[in-house]
Structure 1
Amino acid sequence: MTILASYASDPAQSRGRMHDEKRDVTRGPRDDFQRDRDRIIHSISFRRLRHKTQVFVAPDGDHYRVRLTHSLEVAQIGRTIARALGLNEDLTEALCLAHDIGHPPFGHAGEDALQDALDEFGGFDHNAQTIRTLNKLEMPYPRWAGLNLTWEMLEGLAKHNGPVTRPTWALAEANAAMDLDLGTWPSLEAQVAAIADDIAYDNHDIDDGMRAGLLTLDQLLELPFIAERWHVICDRFSDVPKVRLLPELIRDQIGLMVNDVLETTRARLDRLDVQSPNDVRQAGQMIGGFSEDMAEKERKLKGFMYENLYHHPKQMAAAEEGKMMVASLVNAYREQPQLMPESWSAALPEGEPDRIRHIADFLAGMTDRYARNRYREIYGETHGK
């Protein structure tokens, strides 16, 4: 049996669920956070992540990451950190697995299109959409909408990046249904999930970018801290062709970041004398994260990735196409709601803002492949070219 640290989230002390559930012994001996994790894994929205953009829009290659594989990698890193810190691994894992569920097709390009469409109706935010999806759009239970997740799970999804002072309409709606204490810091499990996300995509996107030929090793070695690690690896494997060493570089970078998080987080816990989950929420600062030195290196790495990968001309062209397709589908469904599946068109509200938000819910749940196919059915192959 795992011994939790005093500042870890304890499922026995959970603030509960929106709808009371009688414990059914036929469902197995799982605690509340284990149930949350399993509900995420078994959800339709989680399965759809296998066909949603991570870096490359609708990638042709089988070896590129998608939202699903990214989420699994985040969960692996999050569990490692949580275990070392004595945190609740199940809650950490559940938060890691669920964190990208609200992303629409075509990544941030699809999000930009939905933001434009909902601009006068409160906008669109993928983080809030994650909670909306899990609270309202998933329908596996006979007596209520949503997965009926614990307060700690919803709180962690709502504010894993810190306190929320100006919630979007979707997050405000969720908070009105179940007060998530948005003004405080989240659990340490949520903070670990957030930093695990950064560690995963910072490093794995390098791997995908080089695999796609959009990044080169020479470009990467312009970053001094990457070059320093590369030279250490080359010395360690002096008898191995350098072409074989890139995966080792990625692993080393992840290890360095994880170790930095552990050392920094432990030092902050000691300095702030954190003894309970409530101490974490009232600390007035992030506890789980990088040191100042590593944070600066990570910012430079992100800047490099934006300049050389995310804003690469090929990526920008693909993103513009994705944004155009989502915007076109918004217009089609507003003008001809019957083009949506009957279950969605029959439930379409009459007035705004509920009407456009309903359409956005449908679109946000689409995979890249499904959105592209619906676009071609409506507009044909050459529209927008």
Structure 2
Amino acid sequence: MDFLEQRRLVQGKRPNDVRDEFDRDEARLIHSAAFRRLQSKTQVLGLGESDFYRTRLTHSMEVAQIGRGIVQYLSKSEQFSEYQKHLPCTSLITAICLAHDIGHPPFGHGGEVALNYCMREHGGFEGNGQTLRILGKLDKYTAEHGLNPTRRMLLGILKYPAAYSELVNEKAYEQDPDKNAPYWLFEARSQKPPKCYHDCDQEIVDFIFEDFDETDVAKFTATREYKGKHSKSLFKSLDCTIMNLADNISYSLHDFEDALSLGMITQRHWREHFEGKENLFNDLAKQLNREDLSFDLITASLFHKDSFCRKEAIGSLVNLMITNAIIAKNQSGCEHSLLNLEVKLEPKIEELREHIFNLVCEQVIFDENVQQLEFKGQKLVIELFQTLAKDPNRFLPKPTRERWKKAAKGLEGENKKSAQLRVICDFVSGMTDDYATKFYEKLFTPSKGSIFDRL
């Protein structure tokens, strides 16, 4: 067996199982509780506002479809024939893409900021780092190794190969103290976590890199400091760049499509945003000999009264991006192909994608109504965490309470406190939006809750 197919816990196949190791990865992920929970977690727009737009689950399915499309395109392109043997198989890239968001907490980035605020003195919280933690440790497929994925799948999920303690800059958290403000009231921007994995999951990362050359690992895990901000890791593995590109395409175009459908982005917004930049479309239309990509035609289709025209335009843009993905050497200087190759968009296509995404940010993500709902979820998560942390023996469900007690064994002082708070963080981050709301109401709303409730 190739070392990339190995698992931390050796598990033989069941009788007559003809699947390869990456088929098994995909199946485990699809049947996991963490994956199912994505159906009730916010993507951008809050759940319950409509039954039309994307949740984290439908977003992840679309990312997987785009990821497969990128691999299929690159594997048939003569331009990249020398790199094709290094591309992941369909089942592997599907598993990586489907799994990429399972660590994200309820209420989107508001939930992530809230948990990092609660955990910043105890190892922090970052959604991508939690994804690695669920896959390698928490999911119930095994007792202690989570879904026990292959080494290559874990490498593909490791979006930021540096630990919280290595990247965190406490000055980035600084804010003017306001003694009169409640503990849950703060500027969200100042409490964002570094993009990292959690220090308590170092053994998973050690397993990922144990059979790679030490010099390669040192180059691949390099970081860069930024004055007054958290440091950042510099590189992602080949498989991770495919997943990341598929994610970028999906949230740029599919969140855009949702915004069009709900009227949050109008033709006026679109034309004003692209004023003076129409040639981003027109030049591509000429270069690729595709009239459907001219600015006037794409605009007419996006804002046509018939929804199928809008769908056709979004499909054309997705196709444009998939078929302009390229494989190139990154700047790491690593020898191993998985560490020194990356997949990205042609520069002009990436510029177009960024402009569309910036429009989504302006009109949707930073919309005051979206931000107000995100803040409400953020406050809810902080109050839940603080209550559970204050009296865990009283409020934690029995299985989580047992994990909380077990986490303290052999530890003292701050190490004990950090380990037990991590269990509470795992519990809250694993909640769906709906579960977190019901749990909150049971604790804080007098008219809600019963001793017979089974959340």
TM-score exceeds 0.5: yes
Counterpart of 1:377 in structure 2: which amino acid? K
- The corresponding residue for 2:421 is 356
Range with bigger deviation, 110-119 or 84-93: 84-93
1:339 aligns with 2:395: yes
- Who is 2:32 aligned against? 43
More deviation, 46-55/209-218 = 209-218
Is the contact between residue 137 and residue 146 of structure 1 (CA under 8 Å) also seen in structure 2?
yes
> Which residue identity lines up with residue 402 of structure 2 in the other structure?
A
Deviation string, structure 1 residues 38-87 (Cα, Å, up to 9, x no partner): 11001010000000000112233111100000000000011111122223
Structure-1 residue corresponding to 2:98? 97
2: CA distance between counterparts of 1:381 and 1:135? 39
Which of these residues, 279, 284, 301, is aligned with residue 337 of structure 2?
279
Q: For 2:335 and 2:51, locate their aligned partners in 1 and report how far apart those are by CA, in whole Å.
A: 42
Q: Quote how far apart the aligned CAs of 1:303 are.
A: 2.2
Within a 5 Å distance, the mapping from 1:24-43 to structure 2 comes to 24-26=14-16, 28-43=17-32
Shift in Å at residue 236 of structure 1? Answer: 8.5
Equivalent residues in 2 for 1:106-255, closer than 5 Å: 106-141=107-142, 144-159=144-159, 166=167, 167-168=196-197, 169-179=199-209, 181=217, 183-184=219-220, 185-221=235-271, 222-223=273-274, 224=278, 225=280, 229-233=294-298, 241=305, 244-255=308-319
Who is 2:224 aligned against? none
Is the counterpart of residue 367 in structure 1 residue 356 in structure 2? no
Q: Which protein has the larger Cα radius of gyration, Structure 1 or Structure 2?
A: 2
1:162-187 CA-partner distances (Å, limit 9, x unpaired): 78874542453422454364742554
Partners of 1:170 and 1:313 lie apart in 2 by 36
Q: Which amino acid aligns with 2:247?
A: D
1:141-164 Cα offsets, whole Å, 9 max, x none, are 3x64311101101111113x6788
Q: For residues 97-127 of structure 1, give each alpha carbon's deviation from its aligned partner in whole angstroms, at most 9, with x where no partner exists.
A: 0000000000100000001000111210111
Residues in 2 aligned to 1:16 and 1:108: alpha-carbon distance in whole angstroms: 33
Gaps of 5+ in 1: 1-10
Report the Cα offset of residue 308 of structure 1. Answer: 1.3
Partner of residue 320 from structure 2, selected from 256, 274, 279: 256
Secondary structure of residue in 2 paired with 1:120: coil
2:290 alignment partner in structure 1: none
Distance 1:56 1:234, change over 3 A: closer
* Structure with more contact order per residue of length (Cα contacts < 8 Å, sep ≥ 6): 1
Contact 1:109 1:320 in 2 (8 A): yes
Deviation at 1:135, TM superposition (A): 1.4
Q: Is the 8 A contact 2:301 2:312 kept in 1?
A: no
Confirm or deny that 1:297 pairs with 2:367: no
RMSD: 3.0
CA distance in 2, matches of 1:212, 1:376: 29
Q: Distance in 2 between matches of 1:236 and 1:346?
A: 56
Structure 1 contact 54–67 (Cα < 8 Å) conserved:
yes
Q: Distance in 1 between matches of 2:109 and 2:116?
A: 10
Q: Do 1:220 and 1:226's aligned partners in 2 also have CA atoms closer than 8 Å?
A: no
**SS, match of residue 65 in structure 1:** coil
| Contact 2:115 2:125 (C-alpha < 8 Å) held by counterparts | yes
Could you tell me which residue of structure 1 aligns to residue 372 of structure 2? 317
Taking a change above 3 Å as real, the CA distance of residues 119 and 133 of structure 1, as seen in their structure-2 partners, is same
**Offset at residue 23 of structure 1 (A):** 2.8
- The corresponding residue for 1:5 is none
Tell me, yes or no, if the aligned pair for 1:233 and 1:245 is still in contact at 8 Å. no
Deviation digits for residues 8-55 of structure 1, max 9, x if unmatched?
Answer: xxx8562511111223334x2110111111110010100000000001
| Separation (CA, whole Å) in 1 of partners of 2:92 and 2:156 | 9
CA distance in 2 between partners of 1:235 and 1:46 (Å): 37
CA contact under 8 A between 2:103 and 2:129: conserved in structure 1?
yes
User: Counterpart in 2 of 1:6?
Assistant: none
Q: Structure 1 residues 190 and 243, CA, compared in 2 at 3 Å: closer, same or farther?
A: closer
* Aligned counterparts of 2:338 and 2:155: Cα–Cα separation in 1: 13
CA distance in 2, matches of 1:69, 1:113: 24
Further displaced range: 174-183 or 40-49: 174-183
Between the aligned partners of 1:207 and 1:231, the Cα distance in structure 2 is 18
- Aligned CA distance change for structure 1 residues 302 and 358 (closer, same or farther; 3 Å): same
The one-letter code matched in structure 2 to 1:193 is: M
1:302 Cα offset (Å): 2.5
Do the aligned partners of 1:214 and 1:312 also contact (CA within 8 Å) in 2?
no
3-state SS of paired residue (1:20):
coil
Per-residue CA deviation, residues 202-221 of structure 1 (Å, 9 max, x unaligned), is: 00101111223322132123
Distance 2:370 2:2 in 1: 47
Q: Name the SS of the counterpart of 2:324 in structure 1.
A: helix
Query: 1:244/1:84 Cα in 2 relative to 1: closer, same or farther (>3 Å)?
Result: closer
Give the number of equivalent residue pairs: 359
Asked whether the 8 Å contact 1:40–1:94 carries over to 2, the reply is yes
**Does structure 1 retain, via aligned residues, the 8 Å contact 2:137–2:146?**
yes
Give me the whole-angstrom Cα distance separating, in 2, the residues matched to 1:64 and 1:381: 33
| Structure 2: tracts of 5 or more residues without a match | 76-86, 168-195, 211-216, 221-234, 283-292, 409-415, 449-455
Indicate the residue corresponding to 1:330 in structure 2: 385
When residues 111 and 71 of structure 1 are mapped into structure 2, their CA distance, relative to the original with a 3 A threshold, is: same
Q: What is aligned with 1:378? A: 443
Given that 2:9 and 2:145 are in contact with CA atoms closer than 8 Å, whether structure 1 keeps it comes out as: no
